[in-house]
Amino acid sequence: MSQITLNVKDENIATVLNILENLKDGLIDSIDSKTVNTRKSRYQPSTKTIVNENQKPTGKYASRDVYKSRLQ
């Protein structure tokens, strides 16, 4: 197995570790760091509601039909 050693400034270590952790699964066997404890944050959606297909959009983007009508 090959090994790569990186020298990274303390203020950039979190960014570099984040990039390495988000690489394709199976590409890296293990990541060892002596300075920072890595902590994965789970995705938290901003709303807890489920949007149905027939529901009208309520965001800042218009539906496709409304957008096309504005262009004409």
The pLDDT tens digits for 6-29 are 888 888 888 888 888 888 778 888
Q: What pTM was estimated for this model as a whole? A: 0.43
Share of the chain above pLDDT 70, in %: 88
Rg of the chain, C-alpha, whole Å: 22
Instruction: Count how many Cα atoms sit within 13 Å of the Cα of residue 3 in the half-sphere of its side chain.
Output: 4
With a CB cutoff of 8 Å and minimum separation 6, the contacts of 6 are: 16
How far apart are alpha carbons 26 and 49 in whole angstroms?
34
